[in-house]
Each structure stands twice: as structure tokens, then as C-alpha cells.
Structure 1
Amino acid sequence: MANITRRLFIHGRVQGVGFRWWVCAQARRLGLSGWVRNRYDGSVEALIHGAPDAVEMLTRLAHDGPSHADVSRVLANDEPGGEDFGTQGRFEQRPSV
């Protein structure tokens, strides 16, 4: 099955609790590429690319996050094209937007 790309917007108490670090660790463990960043509105955004079952697993995990997070909602949108958007197979933290 072909790889897919999904964008997540995670809301709640998700900044200042190690959420970006946690997403990177989970994504790398699942063999995903992409990136994660804080947003100035207090949310966290992630673009994840890889096998559909791994993308789905990270999407489910994001609803809980690390132990100090309090996730209120996760919005998930599949992106057309199935590309990793320039991450060359890595998962990284990006600057806030």
C-alpha cells in the first residue's frame, strides 16, 4: 500500500509539556517522516508521512500525547500527493508559526 501524508492540528495544553519532542520520538519509532511545530495560537501542528497504519497509529496517539499534556481535540486532514514535503525521510522539529 502506498504511503500517505496527514496534517494534524492538536489543541489543548500542548505547549510547554514536551509535546513536540514526544511527537518526534513516536514518529521515529513508527518509521515516519515529517515535522512538528508550535503555532502561535497555542496549538501544535504536525505533518506526518509514511505507511497508512503507522500514520493512523500516530494520529491515535496524538489524542493523548505525553503525560503532562491535556489534549482537547485533534484535527486530521490527509494531504494530496502522498509526499513527505521536503523532509528527506527524517522527522524534525520546526520553528513556531
Structure 2
Amino acid sequence: MTENQENARLTAWVRGRVQGVGFRWWTRARALELGLTGWARNTDDGRVEVVAEGSRVSCVKLLELLRGCDTPGRVDGVVERWSEPRGSLGGFVER
């Protein structure tokens, strides 16, 4: 399997004005378009945590979109962590 075809798990923490602006809904829509599974949830400190599994290429694209200028609200920064997929996620939900 080539690197472009391998599966990955992306966990991203997005900070800025990302709660109460439709950011989780927007993230869900982008993730589903990319064929990813996972979830997005608000954290108590004002960030949004995104967990996505699927092809590494699609996860990288989602990360680029999260860092882009077309998100709802305002993104001040994104921190990511990569890990092996667990395969236990189905669909993509807002938590």
C-alpha cells in the first residue's frame, strides 16, 4: 500500500472563534465529502476537537481546510496529532 492509500487517524484541536458559528457542522460536511469518519466536538476551553479517520490524503486535505480562510468563524491556529486508525468510527458526527 502506498503512503497516499494508507489510512490514518487525525486528531486536530482548532482554536479561535470556532464555537457557536457552525464550525462543527461545516467540519462534518467537509469530512463527509472527503469520505472520512469521526467526530467534532466543542471543548470547555473554547476550542473544537476534530477526530477523523480515513485515507491519509483525505485527512491531510481536511487539515488544510481547517487551516484555510473559508471556515465559519475565525481560526487562529490548529494543532494536530497523527496516529494509527482504530477503525471503530462510523459516519461523522457533531458531539
Alignment TM-score, normalising by the size of structure 1: 0.86
Q: Which runs of 5+ in 2 are unaligned?
A: none
**What pairs up with 1:58-73 in 2 under 5 angstroms?**
58-64=62-68, 66-73=70-77
Aligned amino acid, residue 6 of structure 1: L
Aligned pair partner of 1:29 in 33, 50, 53: 33
* Residue 14 of structure 1: aligned partner: 18
Aligned amino acid, residue 85 of structure 2: G
Pair 1:71–1:83, CA change in 2 (3 A): same
How many matched pairs?
91
| 2:82 paired with 1:83 | no
2:39·2:51 contact (CA, 8 Å) conserved in 1? Answer: yes
- The Cα shift of 1:17 comes to 0.8
- Determine the C-alpha separation between the residues in 2 that align with 1:25 and 1:57: 13
Runs (4+) of structure 1 exceeding 3 A deviation are: 65-68
* Residue 57 of structure 2: aligned partner: 53
